[in-house]
Amino acid sequence: MNKQAFLAALAGLSLACATTKGGESSSDAVVAKAAPAASELGTNLALNKPAVSSSDEKPELAAKAAVDGSLTTRWSSNFFTDAKPADAWIYVDLGEKTAIQTVLLNWEAAYGTEFTIMASDDAKEWKVIAEEKDGHAGKVIVKLKEPVETRFVKMQGIKRGTPYGYSLWEFEVYGK
Ligand SMILES: [Ca+2]
C-alpha cells in the first residue's frame, strides 16, 4: 500500500469510528455501545411483564428472570436439548399496544452475536424492527430511528457468541 492509499484507509477508519460514536447509521436501527443514563431512557416498559422463551436451561433461568429488574438473575436458553440452539428467542408482553423506541439487552457472558428485535400485536405474526450483527456481552442498546407501536417485543437469536445458550440478565424496553 502506498502512502496515499494508507492515508485514505486511515481516514475511512476514523470516519467509521466517528460514525459509531455519534450513533448515526444508515440502517433502520442504531446500536449504541455505551449505556445512556437510565433517566434518558425513561421507564422500563418490560419490567415485571409476562415473558415467554423458546426454552430455559433450568427452571431458575426462566424468561421471567430477564424482566425482573435484578442483575443477579438471568434467563438462559437451553443449549443441551434445543435442536437448533442458535434459533432461541425470548419475548415480553407489554400488555397493550405501546410506542417503543429503545431495546436494551443486558447480556451475560453467553451473548448473541447476531439477533433481531421483532414486534407483534398477537405473538404470532412477527415483524423485524431491528437487526444486530455485532452483539457482545454486557449492555447492547438498540435504538430505533422512529417509535414502533407494538404489544410484544422479541429477541430472536440468529448466531451465538459462545457454544452455550443465549443468556440475558435483563431485557428492557423503552418508549424513547
Ligand atoms: Ca434479571
pTM above 0.75, yes or no: yes
Q: What is the total count of domains within the chain?
A: 1
The answer to whether residue 78 is domain-embedded is: yes
Distance 144 CA to ligand 1 centre (A): 23
The answer to whether residue 11 is domain-embedded is: no
pLDDT in tens, 101-131: 999 999 999 999 999 999 999 999 999 999 9
Q: Which of 18, 97, 121, 112 lies closest to 66 in space, CA to CA?
A: 112
Distance 120 CA to ligand 1 centre (A): 23
The answer to whether residue 37 is domain-embedded is: yes
Distance 133 CA to ligand 1 centre (A): 24
pLDDT in tens, 13-45: 444 433 333 343 444 566 655 555 666 899 999
Are 162 and 110 in contact by the 8 Å Cβ rule? The answer is yes
The answer to whether residue 116 is domain-embedded is: yes
Task: Quote the CA–CA distance of 109 and 153 in Å, as a whole number.
Answer: 22
Dihedral over alpha carbons 160, 132, 167, 78 (to 10 degrees): -50
Residue 45 domain boundaries: 26-174
The answer to whether residue 40 is domain-embedded is: yes
The answer to whether residue 133 is domain-embedded is: yes
Distance 14 CA to ligand 1 centre (A): 37
